[in-house]
Amino acid sequence: MGSVAVQETLNPFEIAQAQFNTAAEHLKLEAWLRDVLRRPKRQLIVSIPTKMDNGTIRVFEGYRVQHSLARGPAKGGIRYHPNVTLDEVKALASWMTWKCATVNIPYGGGKGGVVCNPKEMSQRELEGMTRRYASEISIIIGPERDIPAPDVYTNAQTMAWIMDTYSMTVGSTQLGVVTGKPLQIGGSQGRNEATARGVLFVTREACVEKKIPIKGARVAVQGFGNAGSIAARLLSEDGATILAVSDSGGGITNPRGLDIRAVLAHKEKTGMLRGYPEAEPISNEKLLELECDVLVPAALENQITQENAPRIRAKIVAEAANGPTTPAADEILHKKGVFLIPDILANAGGVTVSYFEWVQSLQSFFWEEAQVNQHLEKVMTRAFREVLAIAKKFDVHMRTAAYILAVGRVAEATRIRGIYP
């Protein structure tokens, strides 16, 4: 690259396509298989009329995309965000296909989203919108068809409303239609921490691979939602030093390490990280460039790009978020010797425990938390080792290795099933 850098695409669907193409090349996939796997199987766009508290009716737009059903029902979150687009939902649905295949659980990928700003809506408005959205997408979701879960700005309560709405529609309680539910109505122990715990397990493995002791490892976490805040807590409980954390309003840093429980209490009380007494402020941009052993991007897509990748000084990047690193940045990090644990492996703990929850819901037989975490550790460490072995065999970085593993599995399933009719 000369001084005139080519403008890289930040369209998540184009990025997902590029990552797929790389794996397809390594696997020498047949042209027809590439055509099938490159496209989502179904895309549903719905209008969601919602009564607002002031008596008016607003119409929101919602999506549900099913990318592949070759290995089982579709699985994937629902996000509420003002910037949701159909392309983003298509990208996330295809990432879910590869994620489920990476950790070898019997699902295809799905994703949903509603274009709205939940921060400006009351609980009653959110419930009305969620229930109408659920009834509109109920034509393609179901315990054997497509199982939604929480994602950005949705939670266990959102899932409860969807489960109830779907159950009312079909006339019987269907615990298995969503995961990430409250424990009182068929949720699983350990589901809330699952994404972060999965990040912890693969980070441990990466530290072993890079010969970095996790005790005293210096960690920076961008994004302090469910995955980021819990990952920070679990890593600190493992003896790591959390140098910095941030949320959408900015971050805080302390070179001697943050007391994560105290930081969580501060955020709970004030609603933000800023103003935490025992730390200096730091911007999201600067946090990414801190010198550290482990960087955990746990916010949104496209945080590490070709522009800032040369300044990343972490030894390991563990992607708790979906799509935080662009393909151009992948190459730069790889050349610098940064060990990247890709999103479709690093944050697959969430969907793995969602799978456990679904199995429990269908059987109405529930496991204890220790059992859930034990099964999760087995799945995550096995997947990490399989991906690492492929990275060494093909001499590629971990993202390409994970895609080779995942795309290979889905291609094989598609090939064996054949094309109907």
Give Dmax over CA atoms of the chain in angstroms: 65
Contact 133, 114 (CB under 8 A): yes
Q: How many residues does the chain have?
A: 421
Going by C-alpha positions, the residue among 363, 418, 358, 380 that lies closest to residue 146 is: 358
Contact 259, 243 (CB under 8 A): no
Burial category of 70 from C-beta neighbours within 10 Å (exposed 0-12, middle 13-18, buried 19 and up): buried
Dist CA 62 CA 149 (whole Å) = 15
Residue 269 known to be catalytic? no
User: How far, CA to CA in Å, does 170 sit from each of 44, 121, 166, 362?
Assistant: 20, 29, 6, 16
Token pair belonging to 310: 């040369």
Segment (H or E) for 61: strand 57-66
Per annotation, catalytic residue among 99, 111, 267, 315: 111
Token pair belonging to 82: 């003002």
Contact 199, 320 (CB under 8 A): yes
Q: Name the residues annotated as catalytic.
A: 111
